[in-house]
């Protein structure tokens, strides 16, 4: 839903501010026990910890690549929806005619059918994006307080809109009742499109070959819907996600213990020539340990946030913005008045939704 237009380092720091403070505090406590309390046994050799870090980096890199693959596939699917939607409007506009009808049909009646087919497609888009925003048990983005703050600031449309009201503005009363009675509303709307097309073909308002082409468009839309639902309903394998999550935290736990003896050794060598600096240099292990821990934490958290590209994070596919762009294009193609064409959805915090 959301693709960052401009993502700065400051945004990343704000996103992980709580974790930064915790990492600094943890490294400070270990360093304080080592320096002030004289607990010099709180040390580990750097070599084995570095080996662990290498293994963790591979795991986190695999997770990030897999998460990016899911995001990119979802983006291609919705890019296909954009193209298929424009093709649908083009065919509706040019294929619904009275050329092969048994009797002349007024243009306003033809226009009524065209508008119904396009509005039903907009209803399909609306129902599909709302279905993609429904939460799943494995979607844990909102568990972190910083993520909840981002979600509140972004004003995700699907969390503030009423789907039934939106569908009611695009569908007739009887049709709305049939669609709302279905478990899969987007699929029900495609079936309604097919039924309407069959009726138009029987009346001679759609040529048989045009009917086949338009049915092909509906099949394409169903295929794209199914691909989108596959990503939504099949999570990133939890064994990989769990391994990455716990291994990163295990590595973060060891970092201060491995950094301390290294910085203590440097401090001892500095104390010969610069006693004042050498005496306190060991405390630089605190920001260094926190920085290393933060890098691995951010890598793992970005991968975790990208596992589910429709859940509403700042790294998601901007399906709300894309759906609104499709609506604007289709309404302009159908010649709707300017005052009836909605504007694009705002991008708070430079994030497309």
The confidence score (pLDDT) of residue 4 equals: 44
Name the band, by pLDDT with cuts 50, 70 and 90, for residue 5.
Answer: very low
Q: With 50 as the cut, is the pLDDT of residue 57 above it?
A: yes
Q: How far is CA 87 from each of CA 81, 83, 334, rounded to the nearest angstrom?
A: 10, 6, 13
Return the higher-pLDDT residue of 157 and 312.
157
pLDDT for the residue 130:
96
**pLDDT value at position 99?**
87
| pLDDT, mean of residues 58-80 | 92
| Confidence (pLDDT) at 2 | 42
Mean pLDDT in residue range 94-112: 88
Question: With 90 as the cut, is the pLDDT of residue 330 above it?
Answer: yes
Provide the pLDDT for residue 87: 96
Residue ranges of E strands in the chain: 3-4, 351-352
Task: Give me 324's structure tokens.
Answer: 């609104």
Q: Read off the pLDDT band of 105 (50, 70, 90).
A: confident
Lowest average pLDDT, out of 37-46, 137-146, 250-259, goes to 137-146
For the entire predicted model, the pTM comes to: 0.85
Question: Is residue 1 pLDDT above 50, yes or no?
Answer: no
User: Which whole number is the average pLDDT over 206-226?
Assistant: 95
Mean pLDDT, residues 321-326: 94
Rounded-to-integer distance, Cα 103 and Cα 112, Å: 17
The pLDDT of residue 6 is above 70: no
Domain residues for 213? 3-352
Domain count, the chain: 1
Q: What is the pLDDT of residue 190?
A: 97
Over range 276-281, report the average pLDDT: 76
Terminal-residue alpha carbon distance, the chain: 4
Q: Is residue 290 within 8 Å of residue 23, measured between CB atoms? A: yes
**CB under 8 Å to 192, separation ≥6 — which residues?**
120, 175, 178, 179
Matching residue, tokens 């974790």: 19
Residue 146 contacts residue 18 (beta carbons within 8 Å): yes
Element housing 249 (H / E): helix 238-273
- Cβ atoms of 255 and 289 closer than 8 Å: yes
Buried residues in 180-214 as b, exposed as e (16+ CB within 10 A): eeeeebbbbbbebbeebbeebbeebbbbeebbeeb
pLDDT digits (tens, 9 = 90+) for 152-206: 777 788 888 899 999 999 999 999 999 999 999 999 999 999 999 999 999 999 9
Average of per-residue pLDDT across 15-40: 91
């Amino acid at each position: 839903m959301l693709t960052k237009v401009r993502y700065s380092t400051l945004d990343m720091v704000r996103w992980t501010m709580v974790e930064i403070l915790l990492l600094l505090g943890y490294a400070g406590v270990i360093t304080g026990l080592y320096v002030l309390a004289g607990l010099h046994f709180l040390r580990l050799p750097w070599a084995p910890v570095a080996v662990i870090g290498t293994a963790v980096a591979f795991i986190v890199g695999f997770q990030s690549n897999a998460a990016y693959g899911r995001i990119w596939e979802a983006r291609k699917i919705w890019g296909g929806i954009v193209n298929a939607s424009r093709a649908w409007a083009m065919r509706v506009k040019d294929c619904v005619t009275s050329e092969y009808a048994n009797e002349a049909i007024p243009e306003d009646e033809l226009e009524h059918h065209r508008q119904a087919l396009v509005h039903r497609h907009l209803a399909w888009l609306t129902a599909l994006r709302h279905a993609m925003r429904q939460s799943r048990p494995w979607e844990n983005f909102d568990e972190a307080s910083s993520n909840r703050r981002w979600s509140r600031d972004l004003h995700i449309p699907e969390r503030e809109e009423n789907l039934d009201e939106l569908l009611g503005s695009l569908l007739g009363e009887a049709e709305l009742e049939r669609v709302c009675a279905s478990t899969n509303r987007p699929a029900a709307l495609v079936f309604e499109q097919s039924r309407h097309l069959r009726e138009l073909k029987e009346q001679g308002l759609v040529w048989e070959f045009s009917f086949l082409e338009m049915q092909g468009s509906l099949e394409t839309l169903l295929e794209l819907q199914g691909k989108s639902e596959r990503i939504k309903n099949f999570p990133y394998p939890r064994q990989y996600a769990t391994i990455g999550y716990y291994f990163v935290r295990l590595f973060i736990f060891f970092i201060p213990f491995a950094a301390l003896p290294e910085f203590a050794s440097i401090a001892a060598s500095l104390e010969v020539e610069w006693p004042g600096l050498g005496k306190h240099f060991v405390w630089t292990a605190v920001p260094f340990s926190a920085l290393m821990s933060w890098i691995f934490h951010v890598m793992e958290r970005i991968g975790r946030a990208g596992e589910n590209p429709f859940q509403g994070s700042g790294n998601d596919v901007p399906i709300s913005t894309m759906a609104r762009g499709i609506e604007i294009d289709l309404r302009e193609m159908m010649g709707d008045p300017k005052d009836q064409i909605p504007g694009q959805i705002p991008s708070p915090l430079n994030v497309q939704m």
